[in-house]
Amino acid sequence: MTTLLAFLFVLGVLVFVHELGHFLAAKRVGIRVLKFQLGFNPTVLSFRRGDTEYGVGALPLGGYVKMAGENPDDERTGQADEFLSKSKWQRFQVLIMGPTMNILLAFVLTAIVLFQGVEKGAYEDQPPVVGVVAAGSPAARADVRSGDRIVSVQDHAVGTWEQFFVAIGSRPNREVTLVLLRDGQELSRKVTTVQLAGAGRLEIGDIGVLPNVHPHLRSITPGDPGDKSGLKAGDVIVATDGQPVTFHWQLRETIAKHPDQTITLSVLRDGVARSIPVAVGKHGTVGWLGVIPVDDNVTIKPGVAQAIGMSAQRNVEYGGLIFQTLWGLLTRETSPRQLMGPVAIAQLSGESAQLGWMSLFSLMAMISLNLGILNLLPIPVLDGGHIFIMGLEGLVRRDFSIRVKEKMLLAGLVVLMMLMVTVIYNDLTRISWIERLMPWR
């Protein structure tokens, strides 16, 4: 139920804001709006105010604004308040305001989330200098070494670990070219990414490199196995049984897998390396030490002006990533399996809602930005497609015939339907019991 309600809330807000943009722009330029509806027919609730009927449809999967004289085949009276009676500039304003409102919503929601404070790994804004190369990983096979500075991924410069993870994560199961800086020399390496372990049904690329960071023990429970073994608060855990430890969850997993066994922890205490044998206890069926390992994080608490600036920067970066993904789809550099449809969005909405309002707002901001940008694509049927057709008419200095426009809209509808089939198929393959019914997978 939480998933359904969260999905309806997210979809309802995004559609309402989009259609509100069209509605307000139409009113501003003097176009008569016949109907403003949230959801598709049949209409279950409606009221009229002035020339406009406001309604709620039974199918909460969209919405629309119907304007007088909007379509070429509509009955027209030639009155000045009809859509096609307005100039191309005025019609452009009406069409552009839907996507613009979605982009503005993404900006506002991101600013609200950032204003609450952001916690992230201290390493994320640091240059991607390799600390750990997992044994047998794609990076290891390609001769990527500890200490290498990753300069670019597939000709895209990466200045931070965050940028690197995005660049690799968006290219699962693809061969990519890395440019490395080693001992002052630039080297090029071909690496084939793999699916990130633990990513579930989402396709996220990985090559098996991690930063040179380690968790530390925030506290030790007196009398528990960790305390009895000689561990102390502040100890930095470098490795377990010779295996490097980068994040706190890796240490937790190792402890959980070794109940009633002894493991050797390599630690740094006051800058001095130590090797400590630790007798792991047992809590239920899993290993237990009574320690709390944490990563080195930084918390950013921006003011209003700073949150607004950070929001603008983040949305520009995300927007660039969206365009990069779209271009990757055209060049086959990006897998179509990364696309998500309504089922995946519903699942993410439910998961985000359980984490709290800020998590849900973050998801809404990302979807709203995607919706705004995708609606600007020059595909007939979409707002960007109508703008594109108007632009072509402006170039040739004449309006196309209804027949030509119908063919353009049909072509756009075919492209849109192919996209919908792709994302829905992707969604279904992420559901285990449905995937088992697909013998070709």
Specify whether 84 is located in the same domain as 188.
Answer: no
Specify whether 233 is located in the same domain as 142.
Answer: no
Inside any domain, residue 154:
yes
- Determine phi and psi for 81, rounding to 5 degrees: -95, 15
Is-contact 114 310, C-beta < 8 A? yes
Query: Measuring CA to CA, which residue among 178, 291, 167, 274 is closest to residue 225?
Result: 291
Q: Which residues contact 73 (CB under 8 A, 6 or more apart)?
A: 402
- Give the helix/strand (H/E) hosting 286: strand 286-288
Specify whether 140 is located in the same domain as 190.
Answer: yes
pLDDT at 299: 85
Q: Which of 211, 245, 262 is at the close of a domain?
A: 211
Inside any domain, residue 77:
yes
Question: 200 — alpha (psi -120 to 50), left (phi > 0) or beta?
Answer: left
* Beta partners for residue 132, in sequence order: 210
* Beta partners for residue 37, in sequence order: 55, 64
Domain count, the chain: 3
- Determine phi and psi for 287, rounding to 5 degrees: -70, 155
pTM flag (> 0.85): no
Q: Give the range of the structural domain holding residue 21, as residue numbers without chain letter.
A: 2-114+365-435
String of b and e for 405-421 (b: at least 16 CB within 10 Å)?
Answer: beebbeebeebbeebee
Specify whether 20 is located in the same domain as 98.
Answer: yes
β-strands 149-153, 156-157: how paired?
A: antiparallel
Inside any domain, residue 337:
no
Specify whether 203 is located in the same domain as 231.
Answer: no
Inside any domain, residue 121:
no
Specify whether 221 is located in the same domain as 207.
Answer: no
Burial of 345 (0-12, 13-18, 19+ CB in 10 A): buried
Q: Which of 295, 323, 343 is at the close of a domain?
A: 295
Specify whether 63 is located in the same domain as 148.
Answer: no
Inside any domain, residue 381:
yes
Specify whether 170 is located in the same domain as 183.
Answer: yes
Instruction: Chunk the chain into consecutive blocks of 10 residues (it has 441) and report each block's average pLDDT, rounded to whole numbers.
Output: 80 90 94 90 87 86 85 71 90 95 96 89 92 93 95 92 90 90 94 80 84 94 93 94 92 94 94 93 90 90 92 90 80 70 70 80 91 90 90 86 81 78 68 58 54
Specify whether 171 is located in the same domain as 110.
Answer: no
Q: Supply the residues annotated as catalytic.
A: 19
Inside any domain, residue 341:
no
Q: Which of 176, 211, 246 is at the close of a domain?
A: 211
Specify whether 103 is located in the same domain as 163.
Answer: no
Inside any domain, residue 318:
no
Helix, strand and coil percent figures for the chain, each rounded to 5: 45, 25, 30
Inside any domain, residue 369:
yes
CATH of the domain at 141: 2.30.42.10
Residue 49 tokens, joined: 């105010």
Chain centroid, CA 315 distance in Å: 11
> In degrees to the nearest 10, what's the CA dihedral of 329, 333, 336, 337?
-150
Interval 215-260: pLDDT, tens: 999 999 999 999 999 999 999 999 999 999 999 999 999 999 999 9
Please count the residues of the chain: 441
Specify whether 149 is located in the same domain as 196.
Answer: yes
Q: Which residues contact 221 (CB under 8 A, 6 or more apart)?
A: 227, 290, 291
Specify whether 156 is located in the same domain as 172.
Answer: yes
